[in-house]
């Protein structure tokens, strides 16, 4: 996704850019090469000197990058060191990298110039800049399911169904009508006026192909669990689709709200890396550019079947630091910033040019344990000890300033399957110490806390401090978000001992939460229990509401006993925005730019 769709193949330039960012073999924070600090510095220079001088600064940024990253090839001497032989070490000349660098620097300069300047906006057009917390892991809708990715790609692709932004009711989208012919057979009518961005019509066969792609185990989609109850999907005509489920599946429509439709012809004609680098959907925005680690730009589709969007162009920028996102709002560099913290609320409210948006969501924050890994948390008593050592109410009060609601299970009261009787794990340091002793860890234990800068590091460090009070030593290991996702989804379960997460299925159903997070074999799960598996399988196999409720009560009770995770709180989403922006955030946190407008 480094370049525009079609013939203008900027990914070549972006891949050159990635050569200079090749990892050193060490994780971030331990001497690995890091690009973002210098991208941030580039942005400060750019803001200070003005956009007209961006091109002139490109080579300066390249020089500073080589001088400051601390990569093994240039450590100690910067660029000069690369051209100077040091005793006992090889220079870049020795490794043959200088000649390669000289070949790619002009291409890199061009890539950075285009990326920094941004695509040209037609005079009078409305442009929006959104600051994200991290770079999208992918723009292929079947390949990942993280917030930074789907905030972008759901504007490029259409979904089968849609939720009303005010009521959350499921409504027509690409599918205009649907009917359950039997408990396991559904018929859908597909719109006949939708076209992909290459001009080809969207048909029922494309919906079929989108499902088949996710259900292909070789494709290894993180969304597999969402659709695994589907036995087959078949286009029975250009605008008719039949879905057969292996059993009655009450959450089918809720899951189809999240199914982004790809072009069957396009994904068959191109390999997955190309589809990732050149996303092509039928949504209200078409892909324009992606400079990894910096920004993604989309442009409105004037002839969209939904009508022409009011925002002509949107740029999603990667800005990991919250303070920088707030500063971008204040300076007018960004008109919308995601992932703000309670510390930013007063700043936003004090600025007459800005507004605070947000509210309660269906997203739940949690602390997950690696119950299948080689570490000490295979022992449920050790997991329970940590659960009672964590003081979530204090974190909500002190760090989040009350902008969260405590939960005792990994569901909110909005979810189908929620059980208010699940007790959770009250903070009890004495009990935590006792459980550690019972688990043969009376002298304490050491755990690896795997995380990413995408998450609020105040929370990570506060949890580390709380666990240390119980005699648990915590070593924080941080990765960029793409690497973090790859590690926790590894079937080897070697990602560490515990991790912080925030889960939303955007489906308002327990099936989209506890099934993917804890069912044996799920790409997200580092836990397994046959009784739990049976309970959630039963809950997703009946249309009887009472039977579903009973099955989820059983499943939640097993999770309470086995402690594969600690429920922390219901997330309150906080967005900072330009006061001219007209947009109403939804409980399922869908960031549809087509629903936004920017006034004068």
Q: Which domains does the chain have, with CATH numbers?
A: 11-117 (no CATH), 157-271 (3.90.76.10), 361-571 (3.10.105.10)
Q: What pLDDT score was predicted for residue 124?
A: 55
Ranges of the chain with pLDDT below 70: 1-124
The answer to whether the beta carbons of residues 215 and 243 sit under 8 Å apart is: no
Rounded CA-CA distance 357/569 in Å is 19
3-state secondary structure of 146: coil
Fill in the DSSP letter of residue 300: E
CA distance to 46, 64, 68, 113, 478, per residue, from 56 (Å): 10, 14, 19, 9, 34
3-state secondary structure of 17: helix
Q: What is the DSSP string of 77-138?
A: THHHHHTS--TTS--TTTTTHHHHHHHHHHHHHHHHHHHHH-PPPPTT--EEEEEESS--S-
Rounded CA-CA distance 524/225 in Å is 9
Q: Is 305 exposed, middle or buried (0-12, 13-18, 19+ CB in 10 A)?
A: middle
How many Å separate Cα 358 from the centre of its chain?
A: 18
Q: What pLDDT score was predicted for residue 556?
A: 98
The answer to whether the beta carbons of residues 154 and 260 sit under 8 Å apart is: yes
Q: State the pTM of this model.
A: 0.71
Q: What pLDDT score was predicted for residue 97?
A: 34
Token pair, residue 144, equals: 């990942």
């Amino acid at each position: 996704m480094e370049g525009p769709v079609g013939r203008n193949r900027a990914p070549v330039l972006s891949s050159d850019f990635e050569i200079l960012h090749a990892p050193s073999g060490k994780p971030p924070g331990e001497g690995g090469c890091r690009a973002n600090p210098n991208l941030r510095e580039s942005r400060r220079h750019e803001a200070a000197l003005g956009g007209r001088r961006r091109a002139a600064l490109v080579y300066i940024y390249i020089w500073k990058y080589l001088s400051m990253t601390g990569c093994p090839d240039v450590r100690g001497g910067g660029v000069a060191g690369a051209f100077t032989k040091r005793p006992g070490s090889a220079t870049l000349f020795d490794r043959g990298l200088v000649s390669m660098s000289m070949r790619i620097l002009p291409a890199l300069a061009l890539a950075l110039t285009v990326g920094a300047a941004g695509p040209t906006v037609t005079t009078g057009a409305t442009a929006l800049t959104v600051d994200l917390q991290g770079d999208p892991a992918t723009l292929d809708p079947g390949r990942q399911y993280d917030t930074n990715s789907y905030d972008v790609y759901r504007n490029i692709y259409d979904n089968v169904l849609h939720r009303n932004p005010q009521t959350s009711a499921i409504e027509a989208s690409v599918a205009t009508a649907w009917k359950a012919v039997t408990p396991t057979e559904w018929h859908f009518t597909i719109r006949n006026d939708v076209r992909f961005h290459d001009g080809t019509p969207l048909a029922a066969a494309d919906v079929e192909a989108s499902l088949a792609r996710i259900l292909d185990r070789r494709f290894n989609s993180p969304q597999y669990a969402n659709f695994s109850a589907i036995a087959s999907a078949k286009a029975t005509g250009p605008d008719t689709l039949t879905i057969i489920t292996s059993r009655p599946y009450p959450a089918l429509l809720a899951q189809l709200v999240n199914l982004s439709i790809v072009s069957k012809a396009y994904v068959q004609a191109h390999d997955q890396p190309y589809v990732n680098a050149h996303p092509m959907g039928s949504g209200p925005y078409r892909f324009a550019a992606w400079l990894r680690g910096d920004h993604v730009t989309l442009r409105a589709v004037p002839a969209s079947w939904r009508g022409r969007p009011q925002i002509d162009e949107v740029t999603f920028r990667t800005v990991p630091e919250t303070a920088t996102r707030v500063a971008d709002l204040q300076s007018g560099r960004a008109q919308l910033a995601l992932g703000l913290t309670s510390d930013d609320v007063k700043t936003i409210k004090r600025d007459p040019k800005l507004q605070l948006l947000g509210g309660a969501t269906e997203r739940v924050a949690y602390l997950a344990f690696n119950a299948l890994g080689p570490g000490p948390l295979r022992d449920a008593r050790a997991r329970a000890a940590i659960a009672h050592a964590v003081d979530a109410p204090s974190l909500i009060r002190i760090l989040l300033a009350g902008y969260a609601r405590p939960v005792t299970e990994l569901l909110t009261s909005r979810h189908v399957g929620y059980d208010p009787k699940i007790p959770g794990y009250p903070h009890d340091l004495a009990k935590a110490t006792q459980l550690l002793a019972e688990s043969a860890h009376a002298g304490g234990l050491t755990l690896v806390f795997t995380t990413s800068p995408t998450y609020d590091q105040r929370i990570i460090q506060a949890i580390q401090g709380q666990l240390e009070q119980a005699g648990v030593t915590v070593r924080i290991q941080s990765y960029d978000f793409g690497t973090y996702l790859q590690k926790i989804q590894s079937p080897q379960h070697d990602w560490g001992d515990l991790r912080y997460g925030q889960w939303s299925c955007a489906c308002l159903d327990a099936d989209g939460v506890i099934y993917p997070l804890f069912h044996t074999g799920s790409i997200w799960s580092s836990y397994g229990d046959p009784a739990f598996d049976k309970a959630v399988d039963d809950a997703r196999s009946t249309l009887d509401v009472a039977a579903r409720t009973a099955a989820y009560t059983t499943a939640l009770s097993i999770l309470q006993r086995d402690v594969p995770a600690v429920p922390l709180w219901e997330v309150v989403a906080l967005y900072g925005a330009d006061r001219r922006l007209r947009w109403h955030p939804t409980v399922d946190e869908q960031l549809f730019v087509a629903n936004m407008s920017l006034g004068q």
